[in-house]
Amino acid sequence: MKKHFIKISLLFTIIFSICLCRTVFADSTEFDEKRVLFISSYSYAWDTVQIQIEGIKEGIGEDIVLDYEFMDTKRFPDEESLSVFYEGLKYRLERLEPYDAIIIGDDAALNFAMQYRDELFEGIPIIFEGINNEEYAIEVSKDPLITGVLEKLSFEKNINFALTLYPDATQVISILDNSVTGIAERKSFYKNAEAFPNLTFTEINTSELTTEELIKAFSSIEKNSILIYIVMTEDASGQKYTSRQSIHLVSQYSSVPALRMVSGGIGDGLLGGNIVSMELSGKIAAEIATEIVNGKNPADYDIIINSPNVYCVDENVMRKYNLNLSLIPKDAVIINHRPSFFVRNKEVLIPGIIILILLVTIIFLLFRKNRQQRALTGYLEENAHELEKSSLQDFLTKIPNRTKLYDDLTELIIRNSVCSIFIFDIDGFKQINDTYGHSVGDDVLKEVGRRLNSIADSNFTPYRLAGDEFICILRNNFEDQIESYAHKCMDLFEPEFKLGKINIPIKISLGISVYPDDASDMANLLDYADQAMYTVKKNGKNSYQRYCNIK
């Protein structure tokens, strides 16, 4: 009995010891987490910082804790602000466990890290990204604990790209200020003058011009100029600019498109060009930091990792300045790309055409096989007539549908009969569906069909194309008739739509093209009307526009 008790006691002791070891091990691993700090030169509101952070999040290891600090030097570049940031960061670092690595974003943060390296970051690996001052980056990278990614803007590639758009250009103008970034890029900009002896290199220094002088400078830029937007955080009036504000000012007043060499601002009014991918820069830096905190020696990396550059172009800006879209580099990332009418609708058109061909083939074979059987032929003809009638009418609005539109338009073009195409859709229709539900959205479409039918006549026929998109054919091209029916269409939507207990204001954007004045084939005729409609949307909606006036 005593031996049995001893065995049981020994067994419980072993089990308790194993559990205790597991608990201690679990506690030790719980607090053995890796930590990385990202220090940005700017604030989170600065557009390129948000892009950098997206890249860092993508590249950082899942088991690594990532913290952020923002110096905000764009708005507060003075020494007092730097001192406040230093004191705050020092306070926080003294109360935290040391970080395993530091990621540095842009030049001001790198200068800060080097200034306080021994005091705040001694022995901690530093990985920089977005650095403009190449000479300084190469110098600090001689330290075996420092490496990173250059932000090497390619002035040469961007100027060559601009020369494909403006082969007669005689000067290159850079927009920059006296910030850390502006000073670094000013040197790089003028270094390229020797490579382009036929171009004059000059600048608009926003730190030395008042707001009114800046507007005048942008407005007076000559057409034969290549404009490169680099950085604009201030002017001589004391005005501080966010990235979005400065980009808006440049794109609003400049008579030529502004190239951009980083991703921020493309899609907001700048043309783009050969850009540094801030997202990819952040991702590469985070991947290096992850490898280092997981045991890789920082000295194993090259001194400088090449800047990740790609072409990125805003198609809307190309269209705004009437630039040839075929000149966009083949491997470019295209922002605001607008496919043609048929490309947008090919998922519907292709199956429809196939079905139509199959139906025609079946009807033809049945007719040939059974033409001697008059009774059966009559039956088939009667049913075919009903099928055709239902297939040519939109089931919801009870007006002619897409198939009928193509049939009528094809017949007019074959006969070489002049006509005008009116294409429109409902402004904010998605919001109506989201707010009131799809059943109310369907009621709106039905009411649109009813109102269009009220002005339909032998010269003017409405059709439903798809969704909230409608097309009307006016069977002449008289200027007074076009204007008259355009006003009739707009006037249809002046009274609010009363749907049960709901009153909804409905407005439309209307585009017009004319056959054969604007186009001699159906595809281009529809596409040009579509372009005119998008011009209305771009300019505030609730109006109409003829294609001939935007060419």
Higher pLDDT, 5 or 75: 75
Q: What confidence tier does 11 reach under pLDDT thresholds 50, 70, 90?
A: very low
Same domain, 325 and 179: yes
Q: What is the pLDDT of residues 143-159, one digit of tens each?
A: 999 999 887 778 999 99
Q: Is 322 left (phi over 0), alpha (psi -120 to 50) or beta?
A: left
175 phi and psi, to 5 degrees?
Answer: -105, 115
Sign for the pseudo-dihedral over CA of 336, 337, 341, 346: negative
Same domain, 160 and 144: no
Q: Per-residue pLDDT averaged across 315-333, rounded?
A: 91
| ∠ Cα 517 518 520 (to 5°) | 80
The answer on pLDDT for 342 being more than 90 is no
Helix (H, G, I), strand (E, B) or coil at 35: strand
Q: What is the DSSP letter of 400?
A: B
Same domain, 474 and 542: yes
Residue 197 sits in a domain whose CATH number is 3.40.50.2300
pLDDT of residue 524: 96
Alpha-carbon span 419 to 518, nearest angstrom: 11
pLDDT of residue 346: 65
Alpha-carbon span 136 to 129, nearest angstrom: 13
CA 57 to chain centre: 20
Higher pLDDT, 130 or 381: 130
Q: What is the pLDDT of residues 199-240, one digit of tens each?
A: 999 999 999 999 999 999 999 999 999 999 999 999 999 899
Write out the two tokens for 169: 């250009």
The answer on pLDDT for 343 being more than 60 is no
115 lies in a domain?
Answer: yes
Same domain, 480 and 502: yes
| ∠ Cα 381 384 386 (to 5°) | 115
Same domain, 255 and 119: no
Same domain, 533 and 399: yes
- Of 44-53, 241-250, 407-416, the range with the highest mean pLDDT is 407-416
Same domain, 190 and 145: no
Q: What confidence tier does 14 reach under pLDDT thresholds 50, 70, 90?
A: very low
Q: What is the pLDDT of residues 495-513, one digit of tens each?
A: 999 998 899 999 999 999 9
Q: What confidence tier does 351 reach under pLDDT thresholds 50, 70, 90?
A: confident
Q: Which helix (H) or strand (E) holds 206?
A: none
Write out the two tokens for 85: 């940031």
Q: What confidence tier does 74 reach under pLDDT thresholds 50, 70, 90?
A: confident
pLDDT of residue 111: 94
Write out the two tokens for 225: 């100029």
pLDDT of residue 150: 84
The parent domain of residue 418 ranges over: 392-549
Higher pLDDT, 455 or 48: 455
